Structure 1
Amino acid sequence: MTIKEFMMKYSLYGSVITAWNWAKSHRLVLELDLSNLNQNDYTEDQDDFRPIILIFENCTIVDELNEGFDGFSNGDARIIEASTIRKSASSTAKQGIKLVMMHDNYDVTGEKLVSVIVFAKELSMIVPDAKY
């Protein structure tokens, strides 16, 4: 699916990235606890979060704050804003997702504001617990 299609269906606000895996093959794999509370189809009998895996194929990452952020191997990141971006006005332009997060590295430095754009041609989603 495209990033736009994903973002029309799911809200990432309040979700938590629990694992970030950036491969040299330009593939980004994010493990998330998707916040059910911010979804259109949320019902009271659901858990507050559900695990999902997002796979961005043929992607590039832009660190908007220019601090050298390219992911993390320790901690988690709470998403405080997520929106779609286009690289240009062309219909063939790569779509992107802007993620503004509070990254907690689980060390003494505490949380750090991170803002990245992930441009990708394709996005896949895996739902380990398919009851949703």
Structure 2
Amino acid sequence: MPAVCGNAMGPIVTFGASRLAPPIRQILSAGVGHEDFRTQVEIAGKAGASGYLAGRSIWRDAVSNHLPAERAAAIELAGGRLDELNKVTRAYGRPIHPAASLPEAIEAMSDGWFSSWHPAT
């Protein structure tokens, strides 16, 4: 059953966990401005989203500026926007899988776990 949350910028629909596997939830930028998208990423994270997919909300200014100095500044801005969205995601997003400690990860791997990835020739 979907749940709806959001604010004045619009609803965000989330879906409950499946019995077979937890859903991987992410929010798409859909071309909204960066400030609006940052807020939506926070709301989605609080509602259970694991991450975001963003395009124009990050790089719009970089591709619309043709003067070298303005374009360079816009590229720097895009990097800052990515950093900001990543911080919001780390603060509010829900991991897809719980984190395992290094000893737990090592214990879970069998001898030769890598052989099926790169078979010996």
TM-score (norm 2): 0.24
More helix by percentage: 2
Larger relative CO (CA 8 A, sep 6+): 1 or 2? Answer: 1
More strand by percentage: 1
Larger Rg: 2
TM-score (norm 1): 0.23
